[in-house]
Amino acid sequence: MSLTVRDTRVHLIDEGQGPPVLLLHGNPDTSEVWRPVIDGLRAEHRCLAPDLPGFGQSEPLRMPQYDIENMGRWVEDFITAAGVQQPLDLVVHDIGGPLGLAWAVMHPQRVRRIAILDTAFHRDYRWHFWGRVWRTPLLGELSMALLNRSGFRMELRRGSRKLTRAQIDETFDRMHPTMKRTVLQIYRAADPWKLAGWDERLLRLTADKPTLVLWGDRDPYLPRSLAERFGARRVRHFADCGHWVQLEEAPEVTRELRAFFGEP
């Protein structure tokens, strides 16, 4: 289905009934990365998973402004368009992390619980190799132009060695030129130093709101030490998983989320 947010069409998965859960994906994914988790949550929760602007079947922002504050406002606009009025549970991964966590910091009264999977929200974070490439003019465009299926398979397998070939190919097939341009715009707007103050506000929020971190320790893009820096009451490390823990260990991640959301 789709919604109109800021005069642009946003594709989303909207399934299940019960307390709302918002799931925000990362790069190079779409809402479909949450499908195994949604299948396990929808019996008890309304699961909302949008394709972020410019990703998958969602249109890009008409005036591309992918800075953290504007994207936090976009998340609020999406939630309003989806008709959610009560506080919701938030699940974030990769670049969905800064977007969703910025929204949570800006609207703490709208947040019930927070689940964080392999992302960064720290002013001292240093970009991984591909992040530095995408942030570099011309070099980023060249990397996207040269992207092919075999290289994509190799890189995602490096990111999460237990991903199946079918999962990787499905992700590759959902990529398109607009999505590639959007990735460059997002990474170039994402200066870690701009998180100064935001990261402190997040720690104050996670001290107040129940927070769970699920982390793939073999993630080559984000050091495992980041998992301990969100102020979460509980951190679970998956020693044999990489960046896409929600796909590598979908049943266990779903079990953790269901138990976490069900706590009084």
CATH number at residue 251: 3.40.50.1820
115 pLDDT above the threshold of 80: yes
Contacts of 25 (CB under 8 A, 6+ apart): 31, 33, 34, 49, 51, 52, 55, 93, 94, 96
Count of domains forming the chain = 1
164 pLDDT above the threshold of 80: yes
Question: What is the distance between the alpha carbons of residues 121 and 106, in angstroms, rounded to a whole number?
Answer: 14
83 pLDDT above the threshold of 80: yes
Instruction: Report percent pLDDT > 70 for the chain.
Output: 100
237 pLDDT above the threshold of 90: yes
199 pLDDT above the threshold of 90: yes
Would you state the pLDDT for residue 264?
81
- Confidence grade of residue 201 (pLDDT, cut at 50, 70, 90): very high
- Confidence grade of residue 33 (pLDDT, cut at 50, 70, 90): very high
64 pLDDT above the threshold of 80: no
Would you state the pLDDT for residue 97?
98
* Integer angstrom CA distances of residue 10 from 7, 107, 108: 9, 21, 24
This model's pTM is above 0.95: yes
- Confidence grade of residue 147 (pLDDT, cut at 50, 70, 90): very high
114 pLDDT above the threshold of 80: yes
- Confidence grade of residue 62 (pLDDT, cut at 50, 70, 90): confident
Would you state the pLDDT for residue 106?
98
Would you state the pLDDT for residue 54?
97
Domain that holds residue 226: 2-262
